[in-house]
Amino acid sequence: MPEMEGFPEVEGRDCFKEAVCIDAMRIYDSCGDKDCVEDIRVLFPTARQPMIDSATNVRIKDVSVITVYIDLQPIPFNKGFYSVDMTYFFDVCVELFGGPAACPVPVSGVAVFNKKVVLYGSEGNVKVFSSGACTDEYAPVDDARALPKATVQVAEPIALSAKLCDRPCTCEPYCRIPDSICQRYGGEFDSAPQRNNVYVTIGLFTIVQIVRSVPMMIPACDFCVPDKECVSTSDNPCELFRRIDFPMGEFFPPRAGELGDCGCEKH
């Protein structure tokens, strides 16, 4: 077998055994972004809106990503480039205050954020069929070109601030909340302006990628043979607990100098 130039030697291996062809999702283009999403409105189910209307102050408690809807479309007259439209749905938990002596009341709602990026995804004019898929032989065949796939990676959002407004603070585009999310909150959402409206600011870190399934030649050492035996679990909860290491880090958090360099460049 000829030598594989340009590949580093693997520690503990004499050489690569062979070059193999695999079908892999190759990343053609990607981008990372840090967004401070300011003053996006939080929508609440109709049954909970009276609680918002009677509040005098609000404080943001927590925020998480429910899901991200992704729409990928080719850009006309710019071959190989695609528009990636992302719609983020956030679960936002806020605390409502109704008076100087009242305890805060936690209430959860949904915030929606739209973002668009343009990335290169190359071109493909093939249709992919695979065995094992259940298809209707009389179903029409889609004539569209084979599109790449867009993926979105989202870190845990940072809850920055919240405020109450008695009128819309921004021009808000209409966005229908999907039924699956409505069921999660037990009711429909009314996007019309209310007596009190909650607006939040969220810190968001994302990585967007465009990938295609392509055959690639790679150097291979050997098959991935497991190097350890499977440990059977026990029904004894105390025996399972004894296997867990003592969480020293929870009692003694690291100092600032012990966190290490994240390896990120500052601009």
pLDDT digits (tens, 9 = 90+) for 87-129: 999 999 999 998 666 788 899 999 999 999 999 998 877 777 7
pLDDT value at residue 233: 65
> Is pLDDT above 60 for 132?
yes
If you average pLDDT over residues 196-217, what whole number do you get? Answer: 91
Please check the confidence at residue 143 and state whether its pLDDT lies above 70. no
In the chain, the amino acid numbered 61 is K
pLDDT reported for residue 242: 81
Q: Residue 79 forms beta bridges with which residues?
A: none
Distances (CA, A) of 14 to 11, 91, 258, 264: 8, 52, 38, 35
**pLDDT at residue 240 tops 60:** yes
- Residue 11 has a pLDDT of 53
pLDDT at 168: 65
Q: Which residues contact 165 (CB under 8 A, 6 or more apart)?
A: 196, 197, 198, 199
**Residue 267 confidence (pLDDT) above 70:** no
What CA–CA distance (Å, rounded) separates 114 from 181?
17
- pLDDT score for 237: 79
pLDDT of residue 144: 40
Confidence at residue 210, expressed as pLDDT on a 0 to 100 scale: 93
Structure tokens given for 52:
């918002």
What average pLDDT is seen over the chain?
Answer: 81
User: Residues in the chain, how many?
Assistant: 267
